[in-house]
Amino acid sequence: MTTVNIHEAKAHLSALIARVEDHQEHIVICRYGRAVAELGPCRKKKRSSLHRALREVKVKGDLTKPTQEEWERA
């Protein structure tokens, strides 16, 4: 993990981001020698899996067409 001060981070932000992109590197940004922020790669989100009951839902008809019929009130 690389450590840089704020002045250096501001002056070389594009190069630091390239290092994060290319090498998945984490860079700690410090103010007065104390870590205040971290620059790192974004985490890829996992695709959420559907609930078992939703996997069995079947759509009948065209969902993009407007309906002409009234819905029953429960």
CATH number of 2-41: 3.40.1620.10
What residue ranges do the domains of the chain occupy? 2-41
Rounded mean pLDDT, 34-60: 83
Give the pLDDT of residue 74. 64
Exposure string over 30-62, b if 16+ CB within 10 A, otherwise e: eeeeeeeeebeeeeeeeeeeeeeeeeeeeeeee
Residues 14-44 pLDDT 10s? 999 999 999 999 999 999 999 999 999 998 7
Q: What is the pTM of this model?
A: 0.58
Give the pLDDT of residue 20. 96
Check residues 29 and 51 and name the one with the higher pLDDT.
29
Rounded mean pLDDT, 5-11: 97
